[in-house]
Structure 1
Amino acid sequence: MRHYEIVFLVHPDQSEQVPAMIERYRGMISAGGGTVHRLEDWGRRQLTFPISKVHKAHYVLLNVETDQKTLTELTGAFRFSDAVLRHLVVNMDEPVTEPSPMAKAAQEEKEGGPRARREDSFGGDDDDMGVNA
């Protein structure tokens, strides 16, 4: 069995159906002898560009271990579902179980903690850039 990362976008009008869709897809993977290593529901997010005149979508991320037959069945379910706007399947070398950067940022936001700031890549000295003050 191989490891895959799957992201699919659900039409915002169908957001209420996302938990049922997740359970259905999870059941397909389990029935095929696979496992779900990570499941993240990112919620509704703004799209970079409109898809079928839709500007927002409900994002879901799955990291799974499954065989090719089950993966083909799963992608077929994505294709024939009117609620799924887009899907992407990426082959991974090993299972990913740690939270994604999106989930980490959402968790920090929920806890009310400050977001991590990027450190200046040039260092603290103005001399590094050749500026004389």
Structure 2
Amino acid sequence: MNNYELMVIFTPVLSDEEFKTAQKKYADYITSHGGEIVHSNPWGLKSLAYPIQKKTTAIYWVLEYSAPSDFNEKFKVQMNRDDQVLRHMITALDKYAVEYNAKKRSGVKNTEPEKAAE
């Protein structure tokens, strides 16, 4: 099982219920294909850096999960077929990124001692 981070940009016309339904659909898709959800972080409505399909805002969702290595190709096909998804990006996480994300979620500060100003 490899670790991944998914960022999805949904169309801004979704209601809260439709957004939650879309999140559940993709989370269930991952778990039904042998994956495991590590963390879900809905960012909500944000401005886009540039217009996508004549839209200047979108709903962002970040999901951290672990899944078999052959899973992502099937997953990308499902997201490409969905009209609610404007863009998506899957990033493979190494062990340092997984550790960093876990520390960030738990609120642990940097454990390295601060260097004194010289």
1:42-121 correspondence to structure 2 within 5 Å: 42-94=43-95, 95=98, 96-97=101-102, 98-99=104-105
Instruction: State the Cα distance separating 1:69 from its structure 2 match.
Output: 3.4
Higher Cα Rg: structure 1 or 2? 1
Structure 2: state its 5+ residue gaps: 108-116
Identity rate of aligned residues, in percent? 24
Structure 1: state its 5+ residue gaps: 105-122, 124-133
Q: 1:13-72: per-residue Cα shift (whole Å, max 9, x none)?
A: 124311111111111111112111110000000111111110000000001100133322
The CA RMSD measured in Å over matched residues stands at: 1.8
Q: What's the TM-score once normalised by structure 2's chain length?
A: 0.77
Q: Distance in 2 between matches of 1:69 and 1:31?
A: 14
Q: What's the TM-score once normalised by structure 1's chain length?
A: 0.69
Contact 1:28 1:70 in 2 (8 A): no
Question: Who is 2:14 aligned against?
Answer: 14
Contact 1:34 1:64 in 2 (8 A): yes
Q: Distance in 1 between matches of 2:20 and 2:75?
A: 16
Number of paired residues? 101
Instruction: State the Cα distance separating 1:90 from its structure 2 match.
Output: 0.5
Higher relative contact order (CA 8 A, sep 6+): 2
**Structure with the higher strand share, 1 or 2:** 2
Q: Distance in 2 between matches of 1:61 and 1:34?
A: 16
Q: Distance in 2 between matches of 1:42 and 1:15?
A: 14
